[in-house]
Amino acid sequence: MSGRNGRWSWILPAVALAGMLLCYPPAWYPQGLKLWLTSWFGTPSYRSPPHSMDMPAVNPEPFCPEGAVESSAAWRAAQEIEGVSIRATEGCFADNPHAVAAFVRGTNRVSPETLALSGLTSDAVVKGEDLDGDGDPDEIHIRLEIVELNGASPESSELMTQFAIAPGIRPGFWVFAPKLAGMATVNFESLQARGMLRLPSPAIRVEQGDRVRITLENGHYMPHTLHLHGADHPFLDVTGEGNDGVPIASEVPVMPGGARTYELTPRNSGTKFYHCHVQPHVHVMMGLQGLFIIEENRPNNWLQTLNPGAGQVRVPSKAVTERYDREFDLHYSDIDQQLNERIQRHNDPRTVTRSMHREYDATDATADYFTLNGRSFPYTFRESLVVVKPDESALMRVLNGGREGISLHTHGHTVTVTHRDGVEVAPEVRERRDVVWIAPAQRMDLALATTNDGHGAYGPGIWLFHDHGKKAVTTDGIGPGGHISAIVYEEFLAENGWPKTSGVSLEPYFTEDYYRKELPVWQAYAPRLLSDAGYDLLALLRLLGLALFGGMFLAAAWSLFRRRRRV
Ligand SMILES: [Cu+2]
């Protein structure tokens, strides 16, 4: 009995082994074995690769949404409000012209109608006396609030108040914001933040010699301050209180529910910076940072005190219009999702603080998202284009508010660095560059000339400008994304302000799927060739067979081994 059993007991493992060899994918055989098999059995016949998968139809957002108030003719047109000449916006999205007028005249000086249309409170930007008698107000009092965007809410499972930097991408932010009347969302049904509650914090413009007061009204749940980086300000104010915004050197921070007024009378002009200085490695990177521009003193110099979202300056100063046809505020930043998502996981100030200060490690930070004026491509094409005409000059005031340096490259143009950190570069040593290195916190004033001379410019077109380091042109590694924008000549803009691009369809980039990494990149121009590959069913069957015969073999070998030991 045992003899017959012994003979038969070898059959099962042998069958399992033969099955495994049959099912083993031939492509995995060693080269020598493949050649030996080929010499015995001939070459294997060609098997076509699996079919391409049918991808879902792309359902893009409108590039330049019709019917949005930002893209309306009423907001984009050149117009005069309260005696303020407001320039046209050639691109798709414009700032609210009533708010622009109120920022120029002062929210305390415009008509109730303009104030209501601006959405601001009457004390948002208060303009007082003309101290030097040159026809413009020199007493400026700005009030800033702190607003959380895309945070967790105890009342809803949705993020509150929402602001997308690109389709479907909503990291959490804290921003300085102008004082607004009414609610934070566009209406009762929407979770969408109002236009002026956005990234980046507004660019602030004051005049050299102005008596400037900025009150930080802290309605937020954490302590904050205001630090005027590079702007000439006294360390202490007239009452002896701290005025530098630095909790470890000058003052107790502004606690939740509190307010503090910072004061300065800047003696020099230039492109400066402002930011919170409480735990700056996290607070600045959460979005509490903005451009601070001190304009040269000129008669009748009515300034647009705030430029929400930065971008085109619709009422440039006298000194700027003497030298340039156009002016743009360009605020770059980057976002570490590991930091910014923390306010989406907690809504108790104690747990947010614990998570940010004790669990997050800024030395391990890597940037995932890259923004220009608070948006990533393709949204940068709606509101951060540098729109020009031939034979013009434009001033680009650039701030790098991010944690990584930027090697800013302009296609089709060279730019001249006229000021670094708001300090003039002597004219005799200025040079033209097509790559400008901008360190974190650095500001560069770049002069762009659009005369087609083969040096400064190569002629009209849609010319990209972007960091030439390889990360910042992606959104969490998916390109095109990041802070890509373009210098666009007016003749290359459609009626609605959208650039007349040619080449690949931009439609995939206007979907959330693309940035969730669910769409093949070139599907649009070769739907079958460049879609995702389907599954090879035969290969799957082989693998299943391999697993089955492998299991059989192991089970049989084990029972054989145990039987032999018993014998
Ligand atoms: Cu802060």
More confident residue, 418 or 348: 418
Counted domains in the chain: 2
* 385 and 447 co-located in one domain: yes
pLDDT of residue 1: 42
pLDDT of residue 151: 95
* 554 and 505 co-located in one domain: no
Residue 425 in this model has a pLDDT that exceeds 70: yes
Q: How far is the CA of 223 from the centre of ligand 1 (A)?
A: 6
pLDDT of residue 379: 98
Signed CA dihedral, 129, 134, 136, 138: sign only? negative
Q: Alpha helix (H) ranges present in 346-505? A: 349-354, 380-383
For the stretch 345-358, pLDDT in tens is 988 999 999 999 99
- At 478, which CATH number? 2.60.40.420
* 414 and 515 co-located in one domain: yes
Q: How far is the CA of 230 from the centre of ligand 1 (A)?
A: 18
Q: In this structure, what token pair is assigned to residue 411?
A: 């296609």
Q: How far is the CA of 124 from the centre of ligand 1 (A)?
A: 20
The residues near 472 (Cβ < 8 Å, ≥ 6 apart) are 334, 367, 370, 404, 406, 466, 482, 483
DSSP state at residue 197: S
pLDDT of residue 6: 61
* 390 and 493 co-located in one domain: yes
* 447 and 541 co-located in one domain: no
Confirm whether pTM is higher than 0.85: yes
Residue 554 in this model has a pLDDT that exceeds 60: yes
Signed CA dihedral, 86, 76, 188, 163: sign only? negative
E strand or H helix at 557: helix 537-566
* 554 and 443 co-located in one domain: no
Asked whether the beta carbons of 218 and 254 are under 8 A apart, the reply is yes
Asked whether the beta carbons of 437 and 420 are under 8 A apart, the reply is no
d(CA 384, CA 376) in angstroms, rounded, equals 10
Q: In this structure, what token pair is assigned to residue 471?
A: 């990360």
Q: How far is the CA of 492 from the centre of ligand 1 (A)?
A: 42
Give the percent of the chain with pLDDT over 70: 98
Residue 4 in this model has a pLDDT that exceeds 70: no
125 forms beta bridges with 142
Mean pLDDT estimate for the chain: 94
pLDDT of residue 5: 59
Lowest mean pLDDT among 469-483, 520-534, 547-561: 520-534
Q: How far is the CA of 241 from the centre of ligand 1 (A)?
A: 18
Domain that holds residue 418: 380-521
* 491 and 540 co-located in one domain: no
Q: How far is the CA of 289 from the centre of ligand 1 (A)?
A: 9
Long-range contacts of the stretch 317-321 (C-beta < 8 A, 24+) = 317/205, 317/207, 319/269, 319/295, 320/295, 320/395
* 437 and 541 co-located in one domain: no
E strand or H helix at 306: strand 306-307
Q: Alpha helix (H) ranges present in 255-377? A: 280-283, 318-323, 337-340, 342-345, 349-354
Residue 421 in this model has a pLDDT that exceeds 70: yes
